[in-house]
């Protein structure tokens, strides 16, 4: 964009305002069904406005948009495959009895009073070891949501605890792709980056755990908890509850520990769960296949195939439990993938047109002090999550836009890498049309706007990084010359 005139910031905001306005209308009209087409139309309309303004008034050729879209969509191709595999895993883990077994024993072990804080800690540990919030939420997170439902805990609170823990672990893990991306984008050693994040992340997670502990004590004394026996009896009568099913998550954990790529882990785990279903739950597979009276090889294969790609409805004799054990398979992820494609195209158009750069330049102008510098970085990261629809794009663009500013002001590069993660990584899951927000809402079956107020870690982190900047704790300004040499 250096050889073309950038759009005026007010002009650059027009597609964003159009998008937000249309999304408000869509959500009002369609409610929870807004992801089945309405939101996609809103994104495409925002895209059209962006392209129309750019081509008409700023003479940006169409091939510029086309090239940027091709690059952006290519970058999320693996993400789309992961989404399909997550749907495959969700169906197979449920039908095989893995999730029902975890729920069966979990509701008997976990106390309602300490469930929320326990769920947050469990997801934090799993995500820290795996380096993936997506894998954590798609596996143990789904089971914890079922346990919370059986214990009478609000699904919004449970989803908030799961997401808070998962994103804490993801953010602090050296195996995390976002952690690696944030540190490498600013050319900071990954372990220096993680150690520096401890200063803002530790108080954020401690405050989060206290909130979940206090909230859990209130839930435990409410007297509204469903009878656990209804769930355990229903699960035991429907599924073959067996500790052997837990070999699947155990072997999945081994793969994670050996640093096997997430896509491979999810696929292999789905296959292992399918084999478990054939051995321990043949009656469930036949029921799904519509041939409950006869356990034939063809019926078993059909039931397993449907559990991988389609929706399943297992009858347990308990309406709430029926909803809990139903899954959507790979097909259940298609609306999310459709939305991601539209969001990526909108973000690509905003980047190609120079509108993103125009808006962020305005934000950078407000940089006067250390606090405003960090605050502007946080604002940019969140804004890019809203406009580009992808946390990876947000991380890279935020780092690129502020690298020279931090260098010029004499601040350590790790301050920028930490601030970028505190803003772009953790807030992505709070945006309904962002890849993270769409994915977790689909996997957990809880809408983004429903769980958003309860994702305390994700909400506190951006504020904490600004507070620490205002205090100046452990923030040094090394010699600009030496800093420039280190960066180069």
Distances (CA, A) of 135 to 55, 93, 128, 141: 41, 13, 11, 9
Predicted confidence at residue 220, as pLDDT, reads 53
Using left for φ > 0, alpha for ψ between -120 and 50, and beta otherwise, residue 154 falls in: beta
Predicted confidence at residue 258, as pLDDT, reads 81
- Say if residues 203 and 466 touch (Cβ distance below 8 Å): no
Q: Of 51, 95, 87, 90, which is closest to residue 69 (Cα–Cα)?
A: 51
Residue 203: pLDDT band with limits 50, 70, 90 = very high
- pLDDT above 70 for 206: yes
Determine the average pLDDT of the residues in 262-271: 87
DSSP state of 366: T
Predicted confidence at residue 223, as pLDDT, reads 42
Residue 294: pLDDT band with limits 50, 70, 90 = low
Lowest mean pLDDT among 8-22, 125-139, 197-211: 125-139
Phi, psi of 312 (to 5 degrees): -125, 145
Provide the percentage of residues in the chain whose pLDDT is more than 90. 30
Determine the average pLDDT of the residues in 210-238: 73
Predicted confidence at residue 216, as pLDDT, reads 87
Residue written as token pair 């380096």: 131
Predicted confidence at residue 3, as pLDDT, reads 56
Strand partners, 327: 312
pTM for the whole thing?
Answer: 0.71
What is the spatial distance between Cα 221 and Cα 239, in angstroms, rounded to a whole number?
A: 31
More confident residue, 160 or 350: 160
Predicted confidence at residue 482, as pLDDT, reads 43
Predicted confidence at residue 227, as pLDDT, reads 57
What is the spatial distance between Cα 67 and Cα 297, in angstroms, rounded to a whole number?
A: 49
Predicted confidence at residue 159, as pLDDT, reads 95
What is the spatial distance between Cα 219 and Cα 116, in angstroms, rounded to a whole number?
A: 9
> Which residues 6+ apart lie within 8 Å of 166 measured at CB?
123, 124, 126, 127, 133, 136, 137, 141
Determine the average pLDDT of the residues in 330-353: 84
Q: By CB neighbour count within 10 A (0-12 exposed, 13-18 middle, 19+ buried), where does 218 fall?
A: exposed
Residue 332: pLDDT band with limits 50, 70, 90 = confident
- pLDDT above 90 for 56: yes
Residue 197: pLDDT band with limits 50, 70, 90 = very high
Determine the average pLDDT of the residues in 102-124: 85
**Count of beta carbons in the 10 Å neighbourhood of residue 55:** 15
Determine the average pLDDT of the residues in 429-434: 87
- pLDDT above 90 for 202: yes
- pLDDT above 60 for 481: no
Predicted confidence at residue 228, as pLDDT, reads 67
- pLDDT above 80 for 379: yes
Determine the average pLDDT of the residues in 147-168: 91
What is the spatial distance between Cα 132 and Cα 130, in angstroms, rounded to a whole number?
A: 5
Return mean pLDDT, the chain.
84
Predicted confidence at residue 225, as pLDDT, reads 45
């Amino acid at each position: 964009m250096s050889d073309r005139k950038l759009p005026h910031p007010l002009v650059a905001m027009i597609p964003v305002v159009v998008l937000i306005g249309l999304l408000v209308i869509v959500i009002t009209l369609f409610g929870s069904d807004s992801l089945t087409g309405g939101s996609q139309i809103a994104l495409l309309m925002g895209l059209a406005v962006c392209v129309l303004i750019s081509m008409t008034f700023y003479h940006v050729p169409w091939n510029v948009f086309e090239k940027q879209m091709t690059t952006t969509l290519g970058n999320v191709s693996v993400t789309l495959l992961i989404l399909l595999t997550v749907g495959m895993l969700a169906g197979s883990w449920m039908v095989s009895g893995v999730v029902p077994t975890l729920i069966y024993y979990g509701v008997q072990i976990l106390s309602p009073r300490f469930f929320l804080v326990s769920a947050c800690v469990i997801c934090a540990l799993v995500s820290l070891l795996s380096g993936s919030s997506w894998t954590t939420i798609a596996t143990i997170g789904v089971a914890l949501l079922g346990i919370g439902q059986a214990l009478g805990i609000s699904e919004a609170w449970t989803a908030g605890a799961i997401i808070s823990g998962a994103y804490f672990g993801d953010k602090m893990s050296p195996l995390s792709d976002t952690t690696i991306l944030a540190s490498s984008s600013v050319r900071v050693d990954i372990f220096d980056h993680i150690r520096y994040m401890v200063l803002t992340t530790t108080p954020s997670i401690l405050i989060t755990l206290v909130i979940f502990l206090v909230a859990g004590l209130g839930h435990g004394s409410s007297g509204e908890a469903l009878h656990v026996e209804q769930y355990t009896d229903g699960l035991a009568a429907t599924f073959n509850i067996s500790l052997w099913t837990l070999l699947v998550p155990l072997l999945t954990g081994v793969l994670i520990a050996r640093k096997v790529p997430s896509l491979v882990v999810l696929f292999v785990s789905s296959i292992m769960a399918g084999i478990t279903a054939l051995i321990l739950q043949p009656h469930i597979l036949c029921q799904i296949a519509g041939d409950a009276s006869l356990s034939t090889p063809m019926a078993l294969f059909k039931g397993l195939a449907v559990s991988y790609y389609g929706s399943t409805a297992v009858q347990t004799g308990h309406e709430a439990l029926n909803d809990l054990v139903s899954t959507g398979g790979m097909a259940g992820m298609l609306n999310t993938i459709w939305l991601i494609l539209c969001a990526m195209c909108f973000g690509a158009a905003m980047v190609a047109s120079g509108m993103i750069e125009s808006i962020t330049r305005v934000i950078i102008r407000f940089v006067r002090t250390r606090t405003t510098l960090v605050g502007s970085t946080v604002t940019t990261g969140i804004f890019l999550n809203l406009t580009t629809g992808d946390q990876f794009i947000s991380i890279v663009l935020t780092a690129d836009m502020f690298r020279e500013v931090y260098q010029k002001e004499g601040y350590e590069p790790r301050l920028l890498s930490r601030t970028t993660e505190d803003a772009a990584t953790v807030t992505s899951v709070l945006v309904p049309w962002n890849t993270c927000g769409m994915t977790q809402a689909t996997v957990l079956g809880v809408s983004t706007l429903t769980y958003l107020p309860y994702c305390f870690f994700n909400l506190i982190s951006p504020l904490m990084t600004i507070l620490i900047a205002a205090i100046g704790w452990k923030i040094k300004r090394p010699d600009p010359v030496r800093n420039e040499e280190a960066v180069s």
